[in-house]
Each structure stands twice: as C-alpha cells, then as structure tokens.
Amino acid sequence: MDHLIEDPDLHGKTGVFFDRAEAGRMLAARLRDLVEPSGIVLAIPAGGVPVACAVAREIGLPLDVLLSRKIPVPGNMEAGLGAVGPGGDVLLHERILEDLKLTAREINTQVAETRRVLKQRTRLFRGKRPEPDLSNRQVILVDDGLATGYTMLAAVEYVRLKEARQVLVAAPTAS
C-alpha cells in the first residue's frame, strides 16, 4: 500500500534543517513507528549518506549504500532527463525528453556517461563489499532530497527486483 507522510507546516519553507544530520534525525522520528527490526537503511550517495546515517543511528538499523544516478541534460548538470539504477537499468522522463527534443545519439551519450560514472562511484562507495541481501526485508531508501524523483524511482525498482518485502522512501525535502 502506498501512502505519503508529510508535514504540511513545512510546505514552502526554506532553511528548515541545520544540516543533513538534523534532517535525518527528523526523518527518523517520522519513521520510528513504521520500522521493523529486520529492516535496513540504504543511502543514495552522496547527499543521502549523512541523512541515512542519522536515520539508521536513531532507529537502530544497519546502514548500507545503494547507488542510483541522475542522467543530466546536455549542458545542464543540474537538470535530469532520467536516471540509471543500481543494476544499470535506465528510467527516462518522457515529458522532459519531448520538451528537449534530444536526438537518440544525445540521449545515448548521456546514458553511457552516467553508467560510466555510476560504475566508478559504485567501486568508490562499495569497494569489494557485496550488496546486502534484500529479499523479504523492509528497505528504507534515503536521499537528501527529491527533485524529479527519478533517481529514487530507479532505486525503488531495483530494490523491488531484489525482492524486498516492503520499500519505504524517505527524504527530508521534495519538489
């Protein structure tokens, strides 16, 4: 069952959190009653790591990383046209692609570069450590914020493929 937990008092406000650790502690307070003892917190690097670290510490669950990466729009690293998930799967934002009128070659170039960077970052963040077994577990995916949400959606799809029993998405801010 999908549902959203949010604080309407925070809508439209800026400067709500002192830092990502405080944001994680506030998220943990919201998650505490939903958490199962066998759960695991997965951080989406890089910004999601300090948030997830605070969440995991506060609710007493193990912490690991799961890498997913935004596919940047050519010439605008902040804007995304989709994401590459941890398994290399591509999730494209069709409306943005229609608006930008990019060629297949431009899209493929961006996807290939994103996959390259994702592999490099996976080696950096994971090293030789194997991914945790997610089958039949509650997984709490944490990032520091959601703009389009495609990076998180790609992570959710991957976790579902790994047969997680339940997926909770946690972010202190979103558009």
The domains of the chain, with CATH numbers, are 19-68+132-170 (3.40.50.2020), 69-126 (3.30.1310.20)
pTM over 0.85: yes
Using the predicted structure, report yes or no on whether residue 170 has a pLDDT greater than 90: yes
Half-sphere exposure for 33 (CA within 13 Å, toward CB): 2
CA-to-CA separations, 103 to 73, 97, 161, in angstroms, rounded: 12, 9, 30
Chain mean pLDDT for the chain: 92
Q: Is the pLDDT of residue 6 over 80?
A: no
Give the confidence band of 1 by pLDDT, cuts at 50, 70, 90: very low
Q: Give me 146's structure tokens.
A: 């959601």
29's enclosing H/E stretch is helix 20-31
**Beta carbons of 141 and 42 less than 8 angstroms apart:** yes
* Strand-pair category, 40-43 with 76-84: unpaired
Q: What is the pLDDT of residue 2?
A: 61
Tens-digit pLDDT profile for residues 78-95: 889 999 999 999 999 999
User: What is the separation of C-alpha 11 from the centre of its chain, rounded to a whole number of angstroms?
Assistant: 21
